[in-house]
Structure 1
Amino acid sequence: MHHRRPVRYARLKVVLLFAIFAAPIVTAWGMVTWNVGIPQGHTAHGKVTIDVPPLEDWPLMASITASEQWTLVLDCGANCVQQQDELWRLHRALGREATRLKRLRVGGDDATLPGETVTVWQSVPSWSIAHSVWLFDPMGRPALAFTQEAATAEILDDIRHLFKVNPI
């Protein structure tokens, strides 16, 4: 009987070691199989698939060229004072990252806010929707589109995420 006791403890140690190393694998398999406890990735609030041409091809009175900044474009329509003000506040909320963004307003008769460039359509394109907001990357390619119903906080969240994943 004296010899069986060390064998039992040796077997117990092996089983415990196996359980310790197998537990994370079994847990991960269970998480994937039943979709439990998996963190959700960041998803854009804006529309990612956008049917608009690059910014330099837009029929605007002022020529817009690519720069090292992202461009937030507001298609103002007739009256967009509140939306214009919200985007100005959004720009300020970026803090030290604000220099990475420029704002362009197309249309509207309202006063120009600080940091905003204003132009008008040469001819209104078929894809233009009043009060829409588009975000263009520094190369002038469309990155995100937002409808008038999009909350400014959601637009800000998307911009911050894009700045984080594109540090340059």
Structure 2
Amino acid sequence: MSKQTKAKLLLTSILGLPILGIVAAYLSYNTGIFKNIGRTNNGELILPPVDLQVLKLESLSSNDRPTTFDDQTWKLIVLANDGCDKQCQQQLYLTRQVHIALGKEADRLERIFISLNNTPLTHNKQQSEFNKVVNVIMKLHPKINIASTDKENIEQQLKNKVPELKNKILLADPLGNIMMYYTQQHSGKEILTDIKHLLKVSRVG
């Protein structure tokens, strides 16, 4: 083989690498064929990610802790229906332990509890059963932010990406991209491992 032929083959190989990358990404997203090859995350990836802002969250936290949910921190989000059953309470406890275990990096993570409601909640419903639940959560988890959102809207936004939203834990990056979720089968250790890795490689948040 001549030097000229070798040079052409080398050039073809170099130019072909980006194309192969695009093809591999396409196959991975559309067929899942590469889903478990070289996988390092424990959570389930959400592809493409969902913008946190489209969930239209309404803050239910106390007035001394207002939030717009757009600050550049990583966000660990617990989803539940109007109340917070035993499984929901376990998820809240799990995320609190993960948060504590981050130590000096804890300020880079924010915890959010989201109530899935068919009708928006307001601060005027002070006597409602759900507000009683909110008050209990805030006492047990003073550093958590609480929000509500329309159930139909969040189901539409996460349709075909997160099965059965109740008692799921979502992870959003500092830019507001919901990019991973965890089920009740995931342990706190698995969630902590993912977050520590993401904090290590992240240039923001």
Q: In structure 2, what is the equivalent of residue 83 of structure 1?
A: 91
Which residue, out of 194, 201, 204, partners 1:158? 194
Q: Structure 2 CA distance, aligned partners of 1:139 and 1:52?
A: 11
Q: Structure 1 CA distance, aligned partners of 2:172 and 2:148?
A: 18
Secondary structure, in 3 states, of the residue corresponding to 2:45?
Answer: coil
TM-score by length of 2: 0.56
Moved over 4 A (4+): none
Which residue, out of 48, 53, 58, partners 2:50? 53
Counterpart residue identity of residue 40, structure 2: T
Q: In structure 1, what is the equivalent of residue 71 of structure 2?
A: 67
Secondary structure, in 3 states, of the residue corresponding to 1:99?
Answer: helix
Per-residue deviation, 1:142: 1.6
Q: How does 1:4-23 map to 2 (within 5 A)?
A: none
What do the CA deviations read for 1:59-95 (whole angstroms, capped 9, x no partner)? Answer: 3223744212111111023411121111111101100
Counterpart residue identity of residue 79, structure 2: D
1:118 matched to 2:126:
no
Counterpart residue identity of residue 136, structure 1: A
8 Å Cα contact 1:61-1:120 kept in structure 2: yes
1:146 matched to 2:182:
yes
Counterpart residue identity of residue 104, structure 1: I
Gaps of 5+ in 2: 1-36, 60-66, 116-129, 159-163
8 Å Cα contact 1:50-1:145 kept in structure 2: no
Which residue, out of 167, 188, 191, partners 1:131? 167
What do the CA deviations read for 1:15-62 (whole angstroms, capped 9, x no partner)? Answer: xxxxxxxxxxxxxxxxxxxxxxxxx96610001134663111103223
Q: Structure 1 CA distance, aligned partners of 2:175 and 2:102?
A: 20
Tell which structure's C-alpha radius of gyration is larger: 1
8 Å Cα contact 1:61-1:122 kept in structure 2: no
1:44 matched to 2:70:
no
TM-score by length of 1: 0.68
Q: In structure 1, what is the equivalent of residue 30 of structure 2?
A: none
Counterpart residue identity of residue 66, structure 1: D
Aligned residues between the structures: 129
Gaps of 5+ in 1: 1-39
Q: Structure 1 CA distance, aligned partners of 2:195 and 2:103?
A: 12
What do the CA deviations read for 1:83-111 (whole angstroms, capped 9, x no partner)? Answer: 11111111011000000000000127242
Q: In structure 1, what is the equivalent of residue 5 of structure 2?
A: none
Which residue, out of 88, 92, 95, partners 2:103? 95
Q: Structure 1 CA distance, aligned partners of 2:72 and 2:198?
A: 14
Q: Structure 2 CA distance, aligned partners of 1:89 and 1:76?
A: 19
Higher relative contact order (CA closer than 8 Å, sequence separation 6+): 2
